[in-house]
Structure 1
């Protein structure tokens, strides 16, 4: 740190830029007090040697900097004699338009729609229904493509392979069916093995294995099963839970996570299906799991540029680059939500002990979800609220209390700026946070 003149010290403030993990970006530097987010953005892009100028947000003590440094220092009574630590976080390079109206009502199912999933490239939508069918829809024209028949009971869950080549659905009968999204036809007979209904499906990430072949299913019967669509059979059965497996995730590091009504989260390796460790701490059912890398795992090599790939190897390479960029130097994070009203934030590749415990909900936590950039964490509860947390530290940020009924599910927009919640009160609400520090709510 070089000595500075009295005038420079009065008008400037000594700052240290760090990434979310605390790694400094160069050494401390004097910045003018009239410098704001735009000037800081230019500095970070220059120091990182970014060829394309990327957008960043800046935080001081977990508060976003939306005014010049001098204004912030005066408002929060911060001394200019100390080095000011400023955390920079990359933002999405695209923006999702705010919700203002319903763009289409897509009719076709004759019973309640129980599950929906966008294709990794965002071109198609799959829906599963109580009418025992899976339907595929073209999102560009908002018209039906195919009706997939074959299930004998309600279709409870559906999942696309990250390369977009396959779709798997799980039913109340405990059967799984793989479909070809290009034709709507089944790829082989139903996959049988589970004794009760399917509660979750997760595909092996494409950056680990391309083309996609394996997925894992969870069931009320207490087991999780790994299937190979090329072999058309179960290749591993993950047993050990004493009650229903309620949720399952396949992580970017190659591990499978299962949450259960036995209050335990189990971590499995996927070459032989061996149990690696157990994550304990919840006092009641584990209802939901979410990974900080979940968005890039689900979308694989597909991003906002709509680039197409000529080979599985090219797709695998692109998916790995996206995953590594998103994860950075930090371990993959897992969050669990429970009937005990709490959540735990874990780094399961590193430790069996939770990083932190998240409390505040007054009833069971039904659903948890990381934002696509991994910076935020949202939770939905039967206490009628949605809570927002820092996705890295687990620190509480805000609560949304617009619903008058239990909140069942939440979902983020791809740019991590809009949060959608669905409730027992029959409404959808969209919350957004802007640089004006105001939260806006749209009714769906």
Structure 2
């Protein structure tokens, strides 16, 4: 079992604390201009922040349940947030005002959203067992919902935009983002013994990492759907991502640690999947 981790030494004092919400903060997104940040909370509001001054520019109201996730467009002109009731709200990225009316995107809790790298499509995954793709120009659904067969916990576009990874309560599904065909299915829970909270696809489109309630991160090879490494936390693992150079995995969870894991060298030379540039 691969289990060598380099823990990232925490900074004992934050550079700045942003305090304003009246409930747990569930979502954070930064603007590319590095001047603004938006946060979403169980207090059913979002707040638009000025990062330089540390002040709230706008309190954004409209949700009737807690805000689960928020995404910012590449140009910073709009934001989209989702909640436990399956509602999406589009906001002006500059003013924090509504862009149109809130709309019912799913029948149940939207657990996660992922924006395609070109910013043209937004994927939403829900407890209603579907993933939907939305055209961000008109906010109309792009094709029929993807029937995932089970409650969806996470959706992620690959860095290239060619793949859409979906984690359900039963498995990990890899879809061709263009053809909307499922190209791989990992029966993750035959190995992961509990809920998968997060997934990530490496830049080359060859490896998938999953973070689970079973205290483990698993590294999967897409070509043969095999587990090639297991990394162990002391507690649930909620988030996982690949490093920029593609040689490490970063994960964080209930053990209050952020850990950096080395990907086995024999996994790194794999060629990328040619049909997903």
**TM-score by shorter chain over 0.5:** yes
**How many angstroms does 1:340 deviate by?**
3.8
2:7 matched residue in structure 1: none
1:258 matched residue in structure 2: 166
- Rg larger for: 1
Q: 1:153 aligns with which of 65, 80, 83?
A: 65
1:337 matched residue in structure 2: 211
**How many angstroms does 1:357 deviate by?**
2.8
Q: 1:374 aligns with which of 246, 252, 255?
A: 246
Question: Comparing both structures, which one devotes a greater share of its residues to strand?
Answer: 2
1:75 matched residue in structure 2: none
2:42 matched residue in structure 1: 130
Matches within 5 A, 1:238-277: 238-251=145-158, 252-262=160-170, 264-277=171-184
CA RMSD of aligned residues (A): 2.7
Moved more, 176-185 or 281-290: 281-290
Q: How many residues align?
A: 255
Structure with the larger RCO, 1 or 2 (CA within 8 Å, 6+ apart): 2
Between the aligned partners of 1:394 and 1:140, the Cα distance in structure 2 is 44
Between the aligned partners of 2:52 and 2:64, the Cα distance in structure 1 is 31
CA deviation map 1:262-297 (0-9, x unaligned): 1x111122334332221234333222112334xxxx
- CA separation of 1:341 and 1:282: change in aligned 2, threshold 3 A: farther
- 8 A Cα contact 2:45 2:67, kept in partner: yes
Matches within 5 A, 1:56-67: none
**Residue 197 (structure 1) aligned with residue 197 (structure 2):** no
1:390 matched residue in structure 2: 262
1:224 matched residue in structure 2: 131
Q: 2:22 aligns with which of 92, 98, 110?
A: 110
Moved more, 181-190 or 160-169: 160-169
**How many angstroms does 1:247 deviate by?**
0.7
Question: Comparing both structures, which one devotes a greater share of its residues to helix?
Answer: 1
Matches within 5 A, 1:420-439: none
TM-score normalised to the size of structure 2?
A: 0.81
- CA separation of 1:163 and 1:372: change in aligned 2, threshold 3 A: farther
**Residue 183 (structure 1) aligned with residue 91 (structure 2):** no
Between the aligned partners of 1:220 and 1:130, the Cα distance in structure 2 is 18
**How many angstroms does 1:383 deviate by?**
5.4
- 8 A Cα contact 2:217 2:232, kept in partner: no
Q: 1:287 aligns with which of 190, 193, 197?
A: 197
TM-score normalised to the size of structure 1?
A: 0.52
Between the aligned partners of 1:100 and 1:121, the Cα distance in structure 2 is 27
Q: 2:78 aligns with which of 163, 166, 189?
A: 166
Between the aligned partners of 2:126 and 2:75, the Cα distance in structure 1 is 25
Which structure 1 residue ranges, 5 or more long, are not aligned?
1-61, 63-97, 207-211, 294-329, 396-444
